[in-house]
Amino acid sequence: MESIDLLVVDDEPGIRSGIERILRNFTVSFPFIDEEISYNVIMAATGEEAIDIIKQKPPAIVLLDNKLPGIQGVDVLDYINSNVPNVLVMMITSYASLDLAVKATNIGAYDFVPKPFTPQELKTSVENITKHYLLRRMTRKLHREGKQVRFQFLTVLSHELKSPLNAVEGYLKMMQNKEAGDSIDGYMEFIDRSLARVKSMRGLIMDLLDLTHIESDKRSRTLREIDLTLVARTSVETMMPMAIQRDVTITLDADEPQVVLADSDDMEILFNNLISNAVKYNVSGGWVKCKVLREKSFVCICVSDSGIGIEQEDISKLFNEFTRIKNPMSKGVSGSGLGLSIVKRIAEMYGAEIKVESTPGKGSTFSIFIPVPSVDQLNEGI
């Protein structure tokens, strides 16, 4: 049970205690929130007193009479608007001054309740304003968290972008100072290592472009019927040179067309990431098997390898941004740490499920189950 502060500002003691009585045992609940909400009623007889209370600890909601002995209700409202705009105000007002109440809502009161009111009328009004308060609170929270996540991403990203620059700069300075002697031959390892860092930085930038593609097209994405078998074949061909270089064989087991509604770029990114991982984290003489097959109402993309495998405890970390599982086996394999987080984002976008099976030292299988569109969806083309 969560209790929220509700301040009643009215110069009539009868109204104050009446409201307190009505709300004492009143609780509300909403489908979007787990806890029931009750009210902690605080009372003030004048506007001045109300402002003092608000200064000390702003309540969630203020029930505010306009006609007060000293400063008027609208003055209190004005104070709230300019100092604690998150506090929601409901004006209590007699029928005679309805136009004033309307004016008050125009200058920032959330609502008004006309006097005299029945307990039920008060409860309904309070329930409404509470709902508004809670929704706003949730939105603010989500907003903050969204920003937080973005900020974290940028912090890590800038680190990931700076490290290769620092490394290359280090080698260049060593060459500038001729730390390995006068012959260029002494610097070959520096140069090779610099080039490797430049290459991995380029990889990171390509992955970032993929991420941008996913993010920016989220809304305007046009889905088409595409044949995943065809996408798989293209991707296998793309990865073939890298596989030959590492002495890994890739086979594709997909004969029939498997149609889903998707963006072909997304699907290509998906396949490329899975297959390139399977090739990279493999052993010399190893294999990669790629399958595209229909399983009930899903098309299953399945990429298995004879590679180094993943410890059970590391599997949950795999899909986080900039996570690279470090162990003696993965040492020397370069990667941006973004590939699988991209795969996860795409999968989520298509309501697809990802399954990972792995045995360290034996190999891994990544399966992605993409829902097959119904006949209706296909006719509409979405």
Partner 1 sequence: MAEKNSKLIMIVDDDPDYLFQLQFQIEKMGFEVVTAESQREAEQLIEKVKPDLAILDLMMENEDSGFILSHKFKRKYPDMPIIIATAVSSETGMSFGLNTDVERKWIKADLYLEKGIRPDQLHREIVKLLKL
**Residues 31-70 as x/- pattern, contact with partner 1 by CB under 8 A:** ----------------------------------------
Which is nearer to partner 1, 170 or 371 (by Cβ)?
A: 170
Six token digits for residue 215: 């993010």
Which is nearer to partner 1, 268 or 314 (by Cβ)?
A: 314
Mapped onto helix, strand or coil, the DSSP state of residue 154 is helix
> Cβ of residue 324: shortest distance to partner 1, in angstroms?
10
> Cβ of residue 328: shortest distance to partner 1, in angstroms?
9
**Residues 69, 12: contact at Cβ < 8 Å?**
no
Rounded CA gap, 195 and 292, in Å? 36
Rounded CA gap, 181 and 178, in Å? 5
How many residues bind to partner 1 according to rule CB under 8 A?
A: 18
> Cβ of residue 51: shortest distance to partner 1, in angstroms?
40
How far, rounded to the nearest angstrom, does the alpha carbon of residue 359 sit from its chain's CA centroid? 31
Minimal CA–CA distance to 102: which of 87, 92, 94, 112?
112
> Cβ of residue 170: shortest distance to partner 1, in angstroms?
5
> Cβ of residue 153: shortest distance to partner 1, in angstroms?
15
- Which of 3, 83, 124, 158 binds partner 1 (CB under 8 A)? It is 158
Rounded CA gap, 29 and 60, in Å? 16
**Residues 229, 203: contact at Cβ < 8 Å?**
no
Which span (122-130, 158-166, 248-256, 271-279) binds partner 1, by CB under 8 A? 158-166
- Considering only residues 312 to 351 of the shown chain, the ones binding partner 1 according to CB under 8 A are 326, 331
Q: How far is CA 11 from CA 14, 23, 39, 44, 46, in A?
A: 9, 18, 21, 8, 6
> Cβ of residue 185: shortest distance to partner 1, in angstroms?
15
**Residues 174-203 as x/- pattern, contact with partner 1 by CB under 8 A:** x--x-xx------------x---x------
Which is nearer to partner 1, 30 or 187 (by Cβ)?
A: 187
Which is nearer to partner 1, 86 or 320 (by Cβ)?
A: 320
> Cβ of residue 323: shortest distance to partner 1, in angstroms?
11
> Cβ of residue 91: shortest distance to partner 1, in angstroms?
48
Which is nearer to partner 1, 334 or 365 (by Cβ)?
A: 334
**Residues 359, 303: contact at Cβ < 8 Å?**
no
Which is nearer to partner 1, 24 or 178 (by Cβ)?
A: 178
Mapped onto helix, strand or coil, the DSSP state of residue 338 is coil
Residue 106's CB is within 10 A of a number of other CB atoms, namely: 8
- The DSSP secondary structure of 246-304, one letter per residue, reads TT-EEEEE--S--EEEE-HHHHHHHHHHHHHHHHHT--TT-EEEEEEEEETTEEEEEEE
Minimal CA–CA distance to 293: which of 237, 378, 228?
228
Which span (96-104, 143-151, 166-174, 266-274) binds partner 1, by CB under 8 A? 166-174
> Cβ of residue 163: shortest distance to partner 1, in angstroms?
6
Rounded CA gap, 38 and 17, in Å? 17
Residue 188's CB is within 10 A of a number of other CB atoms, namely: 11
Which is nearer to partner 1, 186 or 285 (by Cβ)?
A: 186
Rounded CA gap, 243 and 237, in Å? 10
Which is nearer to partner 1, 107 or 165 (by Cβ)?
A: 165
Six token digits for residue 294: 């229909």
Six token digits for residue 70: 């000293």
- Which of 162, 224, 317, 355 binds partner 1 (CB under 8 A)? It is 162
**Residues 10, 92: contact at Cβ < 8 Å?**
yes
Q: Does 157 bind partner 1 (CB under 8 A)?
A: no
Which is nearer to partner 1, 106 or 166 (by Cβ)?
A: 166
**Which residues in this chain contact partner 1 in the complex, by CB under 8 A?**
155, 158-159, 162-163, 166-167, 169-171, 174, 177, 179-180, 193, 197, 326, 331
